[in-house]
Every structure is written in C-alpha cells, then in structure tokens.
Structure 1
Amino acid sequence: MKGAAAEARAAAHLAALGREVLARNYRIPGGEIDLITRDGDVLVFTEVRQRRRSRHGSAAESVTPRKLALMRRAALTYLTREFGRDDLPCRLEVLAVDGPPETGKLTLIPLDG
C-alpha cells in the first residue's frame, strides 16, 4: 500500500491528540476514507495526503473537488451503515504530510461544508 507509512503516522498523531481511531481505510464502491476518528462527540473523517517533494504542489493541494465529493459520499455511507442515521455531528479534514512519511511536516486542515 503506497500511503501506509503516512497513514500510520497520521493515525498515531490523531491518537496523540486524544482521538479514538474507529476505522482505517473505510471503503465503499468508488470512495474511501483513510481514517475515521472520534473527537469527543464528533466523528472526524480524515483524508491523508503525502508528498515527498513540492515540485507538483503540496500534499494539501493534491486534494481535488472530486476527491472531496467522494469523501462526503463515503462519510454519509459510514454514518448510515454504522449508526443508522446521517445527521450525527461530524466533520471532514485533510492531514497533509509534506516530505518523507516518517519525518515530513504534518498539517491538519479542517474542511468546510
């Protein structure tokens, strides 16, 4: 798995922030959520992006509108499958790793909407 090291570091970082990791690599046809955590009463759906070099933009810049739409769809599916409803408090975010997965700079970016 290409991003496994970055995802493992991201999960450890989120756990160190006090979050409970509920799921990793939650997949539905056509979409995936890298990490699902609980931050108090809020479910957080996290896309992990890693770029070794900035030649083609930062890790955060690699998240496209299409990827965000797929994240939203996968998050709604998770909510309805796991909790039977889609109106629970939740949010989307990107955890960007710029540089090597083990030592690169981590940036947590909350997403609106």
Structure 2
Amino acid sequence: MQGPDAAGAQCTDGEAPVCVERGRRGYLSGLAAEESVARHYARSGRVIVARRWRGRGGEIDLILREGRRLVFVEVKAARSFDAAIARITNSQIGRIRRSAEAFCGTVPDGQLTEMRFDLALVDGQGMVRVIEGAFDGD
C-alpha cells in the first residue's frame, strides 16, 4: 500500500503515479468549483467570510454573510448536477453542522447566529446550481 492520494483514496504501489495524478486533478477541480461558486455568490452581493475553514467537525468549503445570517456552503462537482448531489452523505452533513457550530463560537452572537446550509453543485460544463437551505431541517 502506498497511502492516500490528494483526495484521500488509497493508492496501491502499482497504481501510485496514476492515483496521485487523479487525486491532484480532483483537488484542482474542487478548487475551481469552489471559485465558481464563490463568484456566483459574490455577484449576488453576499460577502465571503471564509474559504475552506477547518473546524472540529471538518472543513466547510465557503462561509458567507447575508446581513446577520451566516451561510455555510458545501460545494460538490461532478459531470452532472444529479451526480454531484449524490456525493453528499449524512455523515458529511453532520461534520459540516459541527464545524458550523464551532465557527459560530468565534462570532459575537455565538450559537444565536442565524444560519443556513446551502449545497452548491457544479456540473461538467461549469454551471452552478445552489440549493439554499439544502439540509437546514435534517
């Protein structure tokens, strides 16, 4: 076993160069998708507070401010919107929520901060679709 690639998948010794390259491409693709989503939100007047913020639960791709509300955004990219949405798991949602709680501990209103959780999808053509409040009520 060679160890994990940049995306966290395990590479075997025989496939390490291919696996590492696939991981690198995935990482760069993810960065590009996050940048597209950040521009999408910025065009509508939202203020980006943080990118790739790491908390106790894990990483939050984007954190935005809409007035007094904080919006926590998970970005998923795939060939199609359906494939992208299929990539979100319940365990990821839990980790994002825990990280959002940790982030709110750093702002003046703390846990009383109004929050929303959006899922931003990016398809193979670079089109962005945002599902506002995608997992607010879970």
Counterpart in the other structure of 2:86: 61
Question: Tell me, which stretches of 5 or more residues in structure 1 are unaligned?
Answer: none
The structure that has the greater radius of gyration is: 2
- C-alpha distance in 2, partners of 1:26/1:67? 14
- C-alpha distance in 1, partners of 2:95/2:72? 12
Q: Trace 1:1-113 onto structure 2 (pairs within 5 A).
A: 2=27, 3-52=30-79, 58-83=83-108, 85-99=110-124, 103-110=125-132, 111=134, 112-113=136-137
Structure 1 length as normaliser, TM-score? Answer: 0.86
CA RMSD of aligned residues (A): 1.8
Indicate conservation of the 8 Å contact 2:56/2:102, yes or no: no
* Partner amino acid, structure 1, of 2:112: D
- C-alpha distance in 2, partners of 1:7/1:87? 27
Structure 2 length as normaliser, TM-score? Answer: 0.71
Aligned residues: 108
* Partner amino acid, structure 2, of 1:40: G
Question: Tell me, which stretches of 5 or more residues in structure 2 are unaligned?
Answer: 1-23
* Partner amino acid, structure 2, of 1:36: I
Which whole-Å deviations, capped at 9, do the CAs of 1:52-87 have from their partners, x for residues lacking one? 357xx5111210000000000000000012336211
Over the matched positions of the two proteins, sequence identity in percent amounts to 37
Deviating 4+ runs (over 4 angstroms): none
Note closer, same or farther for the CA distance 1:72–1:109 as it changes in structure 2 (3 Å cut).
same
Report which of the two has the higher share of strand: 1
- C-alpha distance in 1, partners of 2:35/2:108? 26
Which structure is richer in relative contact order (CA contacts within 8 A, separation 6 or more)?
1
Report which of the two has the higher share of helix: 2
